[in-house]
């Protein structure tokens, strides 16, 4: 029997501001998902949090995009929004862009990462949860995990990984996708995914043999709120599920890319470049300049759909150095104030509130002879 792992997440109201999720919302989500487990919709679940995002990590035996599971998540977000409204939390219902749920949560605001898998003899997975950034923030670490031999030793050492992996890359503006093989198409792949605001890695597959055909080793949520709503409505704080070990990157190879605090888009007003800060769930409270952007890694073993865990992986002191470095970079970037490259380049500001300010200045420009 197959197991489906679904992370469905939304910001249904922050506390205070865009900082955290109120415990009452987490308690409500836990109680609703517990009922769903009793009634057989879910096999297991874990309610997580990263910054102001409520993260529903669920397992079940239905397919991806299942109506019942999506309706359940939608119901949790709606009821969470009711609590947020009662407590006057900030941005209550922020990520629920529509009122009319019609069977699939896709395109309605929440972020979704799902994979239907045949559980291996032992199935370690890592659920990554990010806040104050966008889906392109996963491009670099996912590339490093599955294609960079300086990060993942198994690509060189393990014959089961030596063939490389296949990347599914989305052009999120034109709704197109392309599959690319590494190592042979590495340079072409990097030519695309280095442009992380347009091209985002959606899934990674092993090339052959290790997993039943068409089963991914990694999946990333790629929803862009601004492209759904047509204007700035908050960031698209992404999540990802990565399978580890036995011919896939080892747990430590899955985590290794985050020892480098790479620069991502997001942070204050979704308009700035800043370093990623790997933290425990407890420390996922973006405060300084509404950030810096955070990533949490929750590790589980799957046992016939049961989520054994989590282990809060970035709690490890081995990531202290990355954190110190990230905070130093944050300080350096902040000193640039409103100047690029701390502020996003103009083309990436299109879906922020800046165009409204620039519009007012348009009429004051005169021709220069
Ligand atoms: C970033 C984010 C925050 C808000 C900022 C302004 O993803 O959500 O940085 O953009 O706090 O929020 P408003 O305009 O709601 O006061
Ligand atoms: Mg928010
Ligand atoms: Mg958020």
> What pLDDT is stored for residue 231 in this prediction?
65
pTM beyond 0.95: the answer is yes
Ligand 1 within 6 A of CB of 235 = yes
Cα three-residue angle 112-312-11, rounded to 5 degrees: 35
Ligand 1 within 6 A of CB of 185 = no
> What pLDDT is stored for residue 104 in this prediction?
85
Question: How much distance in Å is there from the Cα of 270 to the middle of ligand 2?
Answer: 11
pLDDT at 224 over 90: no
> What pLDDT is stored for residue 97 in this prediction?
76
Ligand 1 within 6 A of CB of 18 = yes
Q: Whose CA is nearest to atom 2 of ligand 1?
A: 269
Summarize pLDDT for 20-78 with one digit per residue, the tens.
999 999 999 999 999 999 999 999 999 999 999 999 999 999 999 999 999 999 999 99
pLDDT band at 95 (very low <50, low <70, confident <90, very high): confident
Question: How much distance in Å is there from the Cα of 245 to the middle of ligand 2?
Answer: 35
| Phi, psi (rounded to 5 degrees) for 303 | -130, 95
Summarize pLDDT for 187-202 with one digit per residue, the tens.
999 999 999 999 999 9
> What pLDDT is stored for residue 233 in this prediction?
60
Closest-CA residue to 171 (of 206, 205, 134, 201)? 201
Residue 232 is a catalytic residue: yes
Mean pLDDT of 165-176: 93
Mean pLDDT of 198-219: 90
pLDDT band at 352 (very low <50, low <70, confident <90, very high): confident
> What pLDDT is stored for residue 232 in this prediction?
59
> What pLDDT is stored for residue 251 in this prediction?
98
Q: Whose CA is nearest to atom 3 of ligand 1?
A: 269
pLDDT band at 332 (very low <50, low <70, confident <90, very high): very high
> Which position among 143, 199, 232, 351 bears the catalytic label?
232
Q: How many residues does this entry show for the chain?
A: 369
Mean pLDDT of 137-165: 97
Give the pair of three-digit tokens for residue 10: 């939304």
Q: What is the DSSP letter of 317?
A: G
Estimate the crossing angle of helix 23-38 against helix 67-86, to 10 degrees: 150
Ion ligand 3 contact residues with beta carbon within 5 A: 11, 51-53, 131, 237
> What pLDDT is stored for residue 229 in this prediction?
65
Using CA atoms of 200, 128, 256, 197 in order, give the dihedral in degrees to the nearest 10.
20
- Which residue do the tokens 């069977």 mark? 103
Ligand 1 within 6 A of CB of 272 = no
> What pLDDT is stored for residue 348 in this prediction?
85
What DSSP string describes 204-273? EEESSSSSSTT--SEEE----HHHHHSS--S----EEEEE-STTS--HHHHHGGGGS--EEEETGGG-EE
């Amino acid at each position: 029997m197959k197991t489906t792992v679904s992370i469905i997440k939304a910001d249904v109201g922050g506390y205070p501001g865009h900082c955290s999720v109120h415990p009452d919302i987490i308690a409500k989500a836990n109680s609703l998902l517990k009922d769903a487990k009793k009634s057989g919709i879910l096999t297991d679940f874990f309610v997580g949090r990263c910054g102001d995002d409520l993260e529903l990590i669920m397992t079940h035996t239905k397919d991806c995009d299942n109506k019942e599971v999506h309706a359940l998540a939608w119901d949790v977000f709606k009821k969470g929004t009711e609590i947020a409204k009662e407590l006057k939390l900030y941005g209550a219902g922020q990520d629920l862009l529509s009122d009319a749920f019609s069977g699939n949560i896709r395109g309605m605001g929440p972020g979704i990462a799902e994979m239907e898998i045949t559980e291996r003899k032992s199935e370690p997975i890592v659920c990554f949860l990010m806040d104050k950034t966008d889906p392109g923030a996963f491009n670099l670490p996912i590339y490093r995990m599955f294609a960079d031999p300086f990060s993942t030793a198994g690509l060189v050492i393990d014959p089961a990984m030596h063939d490389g992996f296949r990347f599914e890359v989305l052009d999120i503006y034109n709704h197109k996708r392309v599959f690319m093989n590494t190592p042979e198409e590495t340079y072409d792949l990097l030519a695309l995914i280095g442009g992380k605001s347009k091209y985002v890695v959606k899934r990674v597959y092993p090339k052959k043999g290790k997993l039943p055909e068409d089963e991914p080793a990694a999946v990333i949520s790629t929803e862009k709120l601004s492209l759904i709503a047509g204007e700035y409505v908050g960031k698209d704080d992404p999540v990802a599920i990565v399978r580890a070990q036995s011919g896939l990157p080892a747990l430590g190879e899955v985590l290794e890319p985050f020892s480098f605090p790479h620069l991502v888009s997001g942070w204050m007003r979704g308009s700035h470049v800043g370093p990623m800060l790997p933290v425990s769930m407890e420390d996922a409270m973006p405060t300084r300049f509404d950030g810096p952007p955070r990533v949490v890694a929750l590790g589980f073993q799957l046992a016939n759909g049961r989520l054994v865990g989590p282990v809060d992986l970035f709690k490890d002191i081995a990531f202290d150095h990355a954190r110190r470095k990230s905070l130093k970079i944050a300080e350096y970037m902040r000193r640039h104030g409103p100047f690029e490259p701390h502020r996003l380049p103009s083309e990436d500001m299109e879906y922020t509130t800046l165009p409204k300010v620039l519009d007012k200045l348009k009429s004051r420009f005169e021709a220069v002879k």
